[in-house]
Chain A
Amino acid sequence: KQEVTQIPAALSVPEGENLVLNCSFTDSAIYNLQWFRQDPGKGLTSLLLIQSSQREQTSGRLNASLDKSSGRSTLYIAASQPGDSATYLCALDYSSASKIIFGSGTRLSIRP
């Protein structure tokens, strides 16, 4: 069974800190992995996409890594800001399936 786990479920840190969000998965036969941001009551916005053959992707203060051998991905946020407060979800696109499977997300709160 293909499962995606995100721990912790919630995280609160003071502004300016660097932080890491974790995503683990049981089946490593992935095509790609995406990290999304979701604001309350809104849809999801794709932040970074890592192809299966890649190890990491960077966009601004965000860096996502992928380690298929250990079934893990991390999202690193540098110099966090209150505007980064949101729920962050990882999602896996599997080669053998049409569906994309999501984790339950980490709710991030940045304290001013």
Chain B
Amino acid sequence: DTGVSQNPRHKITKRGQNVTFRCDPISEHNRLYWYRQTLGQGPEFLTYFQNEAQLEKSRLLSDRFSAERPKGSFSTLEIQRTEQGDSAMYLCASSSSFIREKLFFGSGTQLSVL
């Protein structure tokens, strides 16, 4: 169990640029979640995958956001035409669906849009 890995840890970008984050879940976990967290708030759900299928997307996820999980392994979250309001910590978590057990979180990617 190497844990959930997220890269990069920090990303600073200019408004209007595109950014992509990567999440590598725990290898035997087939459920993968993306959350966004701003200072002083709890994580807000963005999207959820079971294997390679994206089963749910939050209304928070505008058309500038897209997530993929090819082959049910790692996942990427892309934000196009970034806005200052996108500045947040983006968290990835994974779990096993065979038993709906604990969520394991990565350390997150801190995005700052200037």
Q: Which of A49, A99, A104 contacts B40 (CB 8 A)?
A: A104
Bound CA span A46–B44, Å: 17
Bound CA span A45–B105, Å: 7
Contact with A along B30-69 (1 / 0, CB 8 A): 0001010000111111001010000110100000000000
Contact with A along B93-114 (1 / 0, CB 8 A): 1000000111111111010000
Q: Is A32 an interface residue (CB 8 A)?
A: yes
Nearest neighbor of A43 in chain B, beta-carbon distance: B105
How many of chain B's residues have a CB under 8 angstroms from any CB in A? Answer: 28
Q: Is A61 an interface residue (CB 8 A)?
A: no
At the interface with chain B, which of A13-21, A66-74, A77-85, A89-97? Answer: A89-97
Bound CA span A49–B100, Å: 10
Q: Is the CB of A46 within 8 A of B100?
A: no
Beyond the given pairs A102-B43, A103-B42, A104-B41, 8 more chain A to chain B contacts, judged by CB atoms under 8 angstroms and listed by A's residue number, are A4-B42, A43-B106, A44-B91, A49-B101, A98-B48, A102-B42, A104-B40, A105-B41
Closest 8 CB pairs of A and B: A102-B42, A43-B105, A99-B45, A46-B102, A44-B105, A104-B42, A98-B56, A98-B48
